[in-house]
Structure 1
Amino acid sequence: MKVGLYFDLRVPARSGLAPARVYAHMLEMCEEAERAGIDSVWFSEHHRFDDGYLPQPLTAAAAVAARTRRIRIGTAVVVAPLHHPAEIAEQAAVVDLLSGGRLDLGLSGGYRVPELELYQRSSAGRLDTTVEMARQLRTLWTGGATPAPVQSRLPIWLGFSGPRGARAAGLLGEGLLFLNPAQLTPYRQGLADGGHDPGGARVSGPVFALPSEDPERDWAQAREFIAYQQDSYRRHSVEGMPVPPRRPFDAEDARTRPMSRPGYFWFDTPEALATRIRDSVAGLPVDTVFLWASVGGMPEDLVERNVSVICQRLAPLLKTAPCLHSDF
């Protein structure tokens, strides 16, 4: 399997970091990661986060495209209901041209009420809207919008976590951006029902983990940033909804949870993480897994250490794991 890095470019007020420097450092880390052999970098989209979570992933992708030559550049994800298909078709094509054909476009329906309100969108039918965007992108790239991407079939990944979404990704013949063995059957069934080869199934997605050469030494410092990040997700995920606040994140419990349970976040040696990741995705046709380069406003020295350990120690262990294509 291939290995990537994920950047959210958060700048918590307590971090004392300057946003412009965080963005500049991200570009430096992408260049360094490329030199160190990483396969890809990924960016997401969120709005109205109090720490400035990256709101425009394709803009960041364009900047990385101009600074790199080999690595693939992905979105995980563009929130499809917030955008017009023609806008995303054009933006994605420009990034693909700037990168020489290295873009992977991940789409999903989003989940945050404040984001939908900001763009004056409804929360209803988000999955169907995302599926329709994927369909329209294929049409737009073959004559409905200019310029065209470099790649004749620019990879689209659909970030759906449930069986209906997994089947929808299969029906379209697109990749599934979610690492869950339980979704493989509906995904492959969708491929078959859509007239696609189930043997061409491909799955990618994030792994909530950070490697450390000495986990016990580094845990006290790392847990502060991990807890901030995960508590932020918990708080923002229910913002604007008539539900009680979620329980605070339990970092100790998260270290031992399996990938199949929400709220996991592993922190261990590269060898231990490689084993857990391989075991957790066994049987899946995995193309790429990606891990956070920075968590919760980490200072530059920690980000650099994360990138170094992921690129030089963890990635080589995971790249020895084959991409499994099980028979349908």
Structure 2
Amino acid sequence: MPVSVVRFNLVDPAADPAALSARYRAAVDMAAYCDEHGVDSVQTEEHHGVDNNWLPSPFAFAGAVFGATRRIAVTVSAIIGPLHDPLRLAEETAVLDLISGGRLVTVAGIGYRREEYEAFGVDWHRRGKLQDELLRTLLAAWTGEPFEHRGRTVRVTPRPFTDPHPLLLVGGSSRAAARRAARFGLPFFPSAYLPELEAYYREQLTAYGTEGWTMMPGAETPLLHIADDPDRTWATYGEHFLHEARTYASWQSGDIHSAVRSGAASVEELRAEGVYRVLTPDEAVEYAESGRTESLILHPLCGGMPLDEGRRSLELFAESVLPRLKD
């Protein structure tokens, strides 16, 4: 059975603070519903200063989800590592790991939007060195023992719940990212289906004498919405899918590889591409059982989707798709 994931980035292009508050609270309620209905993971992410209010604080959201759930994992995929203070991040992730009993998964990438670095006053050209420092600091900090950091001896407490440390993956689509993951002996999370890069990572594990594994999106990793009438859903809500697709497209240069990559300029083109798919419950079951995917990623609030439609999609997924797969 494919892994089931429900994704939240809390985008809402037109929302005022009251509407955004309702969206955030609805997402936490939906995560609790996921927890009760056997969904494997909630996935969230980090972007800053986006006009459509893209979630900038994934760990704060993760904490709210952990407070409302007992079983489900939260995957932060991904943080923009160089924008974080390493010691503070070590503390925050340790506390979340303790609160959740080991349900936090963090993917650390370096991002691809220069404006985010500029907003935080971080040198874009030092991002690789800053990412190395971040990973090195996290691994040292989570031991609970004193270590050297920027010329002084420091110690981070408390230690995390997970031994030896919370699950941390290195994300990216470059050879530098693969080498970095291998050098630190950390799992690698390619941002798209990149089997040649996965093979390179394994070569680098051998070269560095480290161990690791890959969590890579499949050749097909569509973002799903479940509806009884896909034609009506595309006609009524297609602009929400297109909004997110166009936002991603505006950020991605030719050397950026992403599982969410669209060249569509219209709802009709987006539907034909298959990056975003609206499926009936029967079609979703058939797709899951086809062997073409290792994960089912539901995106119920995509692009500012109305809350009631997002909830309908989630309930169809949890009550009309997942139970049939488990049976």
State the partner residue of 1:284: none
State the partner residue of 1:216: 231
Measured after TM superposition, the shift of residue 300 of structure 1 is 1.3
Match among 285, 296, 303 for residue 296 of structure 1 = 303
Measured after TM superposition, the shift of residue 251 of structure 1 is 3.9
Measured after TM superposition, the shift of residue 100 of structure 1 is 1.6
State the partner residue of 2:265: 249
State the partner residue of 1:149: 160
Structure number with the bigger relative contact order (C-alpha 8 A, sep ≥ 6) is 1
State the partner residue of 1:233: 248
Contiguous gaps of at least 5 residues in structure 2:
146-154, 254-261
Task: Tell me how far apart the structure 2 counterparts of residues 289 and 81 of structure 1 sit (CA, whole Å).
Answer: 30
Match among 193, 201, 209 for residue 180 of structure 1 = 193
* Residue pair 1:109, 1:127 contacting (<8 A) in 2 also: yes
Secondary structure of the residue aligned to 2:140 is: helix
Secondary structure of the residue aligned to 1:107 is: strand
Measured after TM superposition, the shift of residue 211 of structure 1 is 3.5
Secondary structure of the residue aligned to 1:124 is: helix
Give the superposed CA RMSD.
Answer: 2.9
Secondary structure of the residue aligned to 1:225 is: helix
Describe the shift of the 1:128–1:290 C-alpha distance in structure 2 as closer, same or farther (beyond 3 A): farther
State the partner residue of 1:325: none
Sequence identity, in percent? 29
* Residue pair 1:211, 1:314 contacting (<8 A) in 2 also: no
Match among 198, 208, 217 for residue 194 of structure 1 = 208
- Count of residues in correspondence between the two structures: 299
* Residue pair 1:266, 1:273 contacting (<8 A) in 2 also: no
* Residue pair 2:182, 2:201 contacting (<8 A) in 1 also: yes
**Which is further off, 186-195 or 62-71?**
186-195
- Residue deviations 1:43-65, cap 9 Å, x none? 21111111211111111111111
Describe the shift of the 1:310–1:135 C-alpha distance in structure 2 as closer, same or farther (beyond 3 A): farther
Task: Tell me how far apart the structure 1 counterparts of residues 159 and 216 of structure 2 sit (CA, whole Å).
Answer: 25
State the partner residue of 1:101: 102
Describe the shift of the 1:189–1:308 C-alpha distance in structure 2 as closer, same or farther (beyond 3 A): farther
| 1:22 and 2:23 are equivalent in the alignment | yes
- Residue deviations 1:220-273, cap 9 Å, x none? 1232110111122233558xxxxxxx9763443444447xxxxx3333331354
* Residue pair 1:274, 1:317 contacting (<8 A) in 2 also: no
Task: Tell me how far apart the structure 2 counterparts of residues 256 and 126 of structure 1 sit (CA, whole Å).
Answer: 37
* Residue pair 2:80, 2:108 contacting (<8 A) in 1 also: yes
Measured after TM superposition, the shift of residue 88 of structure 1 is 0.8
Describe the shift of the 1:16–1:101 C-alpha distance in structure 2 as closer, same or farther (beyond 3 A): closer
- Residue deviations 1:150-207, cap 9 Å, x none? 001211122202333234323323222334142221122222223234xx52305594
Measured after TM superposition, the shift of residue 66 of structure 1 is 0.9
Describe the shift of the 1:280–1:41 C-alpha distance in structure 2 as closer, same or farther (beyond 3 A): closer
Describe the shift of the 1:121–1:55 C-alpha distance in structure 2 as closer, same or farther (beyond 3 A): same
State the partner residue of 1:45: 46
* Residue pair 2:225, 2:278 contacting (<8 A) in 1 also: yes
TM-score (norm 1): 0.80
Q: How does 1:67-146 map to 2 (within 5 A)?
A: 67-142=68-143, 143=145, 144-146=155-157
Secondary structure of the residue aligned to 1:118 is: helix
Task: Tell me how far apart the structure 2 counterparts of residues 185 and 120 of structure 1 sit (CA, whole Å).
Answer: 35
Counterpart amino acid of residue 51 in structure 1: N
Match among 284, 289, 305 for residue 270 of structure 1 = 284
Task: Tell me how far apart the structure 1 counterparts of residues 35 and 26 of structure 2 sit (CA, whole Å).
Answer: 14
Secondary structure of the residue aligned to 2:142 is: helix
State the partner residue of 1:261: none
* Residue pair 1:168, 1:187 contacting (<8 A) in 2 also: no
* Residue pair 1:72, 1:102 contacting (<8 A) in 2 also: yes
Task: Tell me how far apart the structure 1 counterparts of residues 318 and 94 of structure 2 sit (CA, whole Å).
Answer: 28
Task: Tell me how far apart the structure 2 counterparts of residues 186 and 162 of structure 1 sit (CA, whole Å).
Answer: 10
State the partner residue of 1:13: 14
Measured after TM superposition, the shift of residue 310 of structure 1 is 3.3
